[in-house]
Chain A
Amino acid sequence: KQEVTQIPAALSVPEGENLVLNCSFTDSAIYNLQWFRQDPGKGLTSLLLIQSSQREQTSGRLNASLDKSSGRSTLYIAASQPGDSATYLCAVSYGTSYDKVIFGPGTSLSVIP
C-alpha cells in the first residue's frame, strides 16, 4: 500500500531558528515529490517540486531534498520567521498515464516571535 507519513506532527520553534521537516513514503517508484504550504482556512500553495531524477530543489530560504532509495524527503527552512507558521504537506506523485498523488498528514509549524 502506498503511504506517506510526516514527522513531527507539530513543531514550535523560536524565530530565527533553522528547522527540518521530514516526509517518508513506502513506495519508492515515485514520479515526483512536492512540498505544499497550507494556511488556516485556505487552500494549498506549492513550495517546491522535486522530480524523481533530482536530489534537491531550493527556493529562497527553503531547501528540499529527496532520497528515493530510502523513501525520504526533508524540507529545510532557514532562519525561520513568524510568517512561516502554517501546515506543511508532503505529496508524492505516482502513476504512468495519469498523476496519482498521495498526501502526507502534514506538519503544523509555529514560529514564535
Chain B
Amino acid sequence: EAGVAQSPRYKIIEKRQSVAFWCNPISGHATLYWYQQILGQGPKLLIQFQNNGVVDDSQLPKDRFSAERLKGVDSTLKIQPAKLEDSAVYLCASSRFRGQGVRETQYFGPGTRLLVL
C-alpha cells in the first residue's frame, strides 16, 4: 500500500510571496489533515477534511492560508502572502473513516519543509 505523498519536499521563498503544497492521501482514506510543525514543537492541526467537506479549520489563519480538497482525494494548502513565522514543516496525514465517533490511526506523509526569508 502506497503511503501519503507530499510535494515539494523543500521550498524556500521570500516573505510576501505565495506558495502551495500538494498532498495525495492513502487510497480509500476519507479523512485528510494538514498540520504545521514549527521547529521544536509538536504538530498543530490547521485543517481537517472529511471527504470534500471541512470539519475543523479553527486554527487556520484564514487571512493568508487556504486549503481545498477537490473530489475528496488530493488536497492543496496555499499560503498567500507568506510571513517569516510561516517557516515550518507542513505535514499531511490521512485516515480511514468508519463512522462518527470511530477513531482510526493517522498515517503521515514526509512533510514539506518551508523556509521564508
Enumerate chain A interface residues (CB-CB to B < 8 A): 4, 31-32, 34, 36, 41-46, 49, 89, 91, 93, 96-106
7 closest A-B pairs by beta carbon, nearest first, are A103-B42, A43-B108, A44-B108, A98-B55, A43-B110, A105-B42, A103-B43
> In terms of DSSP, what is the predominant structure of the interface of chain A?
strand
- CA of A45 to CA of B93 in the docked complex: distance in angstroms? 11
**B24 CB–A CB distance under 8 Å:** no
- CA of A44 to CA of B33 in the docked complex: distance in angstroms? 13
**B44 CB–A CB distance under 8 Å:** yes
Chain A residue at smallest Cβ distance from B55? A98
Enumerate chain B interface residues (CB-CB to A < 8 A): 4, 31, 33, 35, 40-45, 48, 50, 55-56, 91, 93, 95, 100-101, 103-111, 113
Contacts of B103 in A (CB 8 A): 31-32, 93, 99
- CA of A73 to CA of B78 in the docked complex: distance in angstroms? 36
- CA of A45 to CA of B33 in the docked complex: distance in angstroms? 15
Beta-carbon contact of A43 and B91 below 8 Å: yes
Beta-carbon contact of A43 and B48 below 8 Å: no
Q: Tell me how far the C-beta of A83 lies from the nearest C-beta in chain B, rounded to whole angstroms.
A: 19
